[in-house]
C-alpha cells in the first residue's frame, strides 16, 4: 500500500517534537532552526561570505557558469527524479545558480525550488525560511547586480550521511518512508566585475538536503535544507 503523504510525520515536526533520537535532535535541530547570516551572499564577488579556497581572489577571465536558462528569460527546472541523491544534486545546483545580469528575477530563482517543495505544504513554511538563508535578499540582489555577479555550484560529493542512517536504524518510524537526507559538498563559484575588471572566487561549501521520495511520493520533492556549512555527517 502506498504511504499517504498527508498522514506522515515529517522530519522537522518529528525533530522539534523530540520524537527522533538524541543524536538526530542535537544535530538536526541546530542545523534546521538556528539563524544563519553566513548563507546570505550579500557582498561583491571578491568579498563574499564563507571560507574562500584562495585569497586574494584571482583576477582575470573566469570560466563561465553552466547555463541555468532553458530559454531566453527562463530558468531550467529542478530535474525530476525518483533517486534521492540525484534529485538532491539537481536541487542543490538550482539553489546556488543565479545570475544578476540575466532576465530572470530573484523571485523566479525561489519559485523553481518551491515548485518541487513538499506537495502537502507541511514543510513549505520552513523551506521558505531555509531559502531566505541561501538566496540574496532583494536589497542584496540589487547590490550584487551592480557588480554583474553570477554564482553556480560545482558538486563534488553527494551521500546519505552516517548520522542519518544511524538515527533511522534506532527509530525507523521517526519520519515518513522515503524521507532521505543527502549531504552535498561542492565548490561555490562566483564571478563579477570590480573596477571594470573581471574577478572570480571559489568557496568550499557543505549542506544537507532533505527530500521526500517513494513510497510517500511517486517522485522526489524538496523538504528542507540545513544551514550552509552545517551539514549532517
H or E stretch at 23: helix 22-33
Mind listing the pLDDT tens digit for each residue in 168-211? 998 888 888 999 999 999 999 999 999 999 999 999 999 999 99
Q: Are 161 and 23 in contact (CB under 8 A)?
A: no
Phi, psi of 118 (to 5 degrees): -45, 115
* Strand-pair partners of 152: 189
Mind listing the pLDDT tens digit for each residue in 127-139? 999 999 999 999 9
* 230 inside domain: no
Chain mean pLDDT for the chain: 80
* 211 inside domain: yes
Q: Are 193 and 157 in contact (CB under 8 A)?
A: no
* 195 inside domain: yes
* 233 inside domain: no
* Strand-pair partners of 188: 153, 203
**What is the residue range of 123's domain?**
5-225
H or E stretch at 164: helix 162-170
* 13 inside domain: yes
Q: How far apart are CA 211 and CA 80, in angstroms?
A: 12
Mind listing the pLDDT tens digit for each residue in 3-61? 545 444 455 555 434 434 444 544 444 445 443 433 444 555 544 333 344 433 343 34
* 189 inside domain: yes
* Coil vs helix vs strand at 200: strand
Q: How far apart are CA 225 and CA 95, in angstroms?
A: 10
* 110 inside domain: yes
For residue 70, name the pLDDT band (cuts at 50, 70, 90): low
Q: Which three cell numbers stand for residue 119?
A: 506537495
| Bond before 119 cis per omega within 30 degrees | no
Task: Express as a percent the part of the chain with pLDDT over 90.
Answer: 64
Output 97 or 64, whichever has higher pLDDT. 97
Who's near 108: CB < 8 A, 6+ residues apart? 75
Q: How many domains does the chain have?
A: 1
Q: What angle do CA 69, 75, 76 make, to 5 degrees?
A: 80
Burial (Cβ within 10 Å: 0-12, 13-18, ≥19) of residue 102: middle
* 93 inside domain: yes
Owner of C-alpha cell 545570475: 99
According to DSSP, residue 62 is labeled -
Helices (H) and strands (E) in the chain, counts: 7, 5
Amino acid at each position: 500500500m502506498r504511504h499517504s503523504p498527508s498522514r506522515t510525520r515529517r522530519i522537522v515536526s518529528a525533530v522539534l517534537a523530540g520524537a527522533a533520537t538524541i543524536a538526530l535532535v542535537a544535530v538536526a535541530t541546530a542545523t534546521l532552526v538556528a539563524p544563519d547570516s553566513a548563507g546570505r551572499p550579500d557582498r561583491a564577488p571578491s568579498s563574499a561570505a564563507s571560507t574562500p579556497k584562495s585569497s586574494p581572489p584571482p583576477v582575470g577571465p573566469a570560466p563561465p557558469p553552466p547555463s541555468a536558462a532553458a530559454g531566453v528569460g527562463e530558468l531550467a527546472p529542478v530535474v525530476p527524479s525518483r533517486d534521492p541523491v540525484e534529485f538532491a544534486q539537481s536541487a542543490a545546483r538550482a539553489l546556488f545558480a543565479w545570475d544578476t545580469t540575466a532576465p530572470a528575477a530573484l523571485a523566479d530563482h525561489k519559485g523553481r525550488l518551491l515548485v518541487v517543495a513538499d506537495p502537502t505544504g507541511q514543510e513549505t513554511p520552513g523551506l521558505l525560511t531555509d531559502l531566505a538563508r541561501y538566496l540574496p535578499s532583494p536589497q542584496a540582489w540589487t547590490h550584487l547586480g551592480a557588480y554583474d555577479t553570477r554564482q553556480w555550484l560545482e558538486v563534488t560529493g553527494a551521500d546519505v550521511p552516517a548520522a542519518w542512517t544511524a538515527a533511522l536504524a534506532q527509530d525507523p518510524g521517526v519520519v515518513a518512508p522515503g524521507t532521505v537526507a543527502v549531504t552535498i559538498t561542492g565548490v561555490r563559484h562566483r564571478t563579477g566585475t570590480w573596477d571594470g575588471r573581471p574577478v572570480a572566487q571559489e568557496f568550499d561549501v557543505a549542506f544537507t538536503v532533505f527530500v521526500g521520495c517513494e513510497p510517500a511520493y511517486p517522485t522526489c520533492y524538496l523538504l528542507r535544507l540545513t544551514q550552509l556549512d552545517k551539514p549532517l555527517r
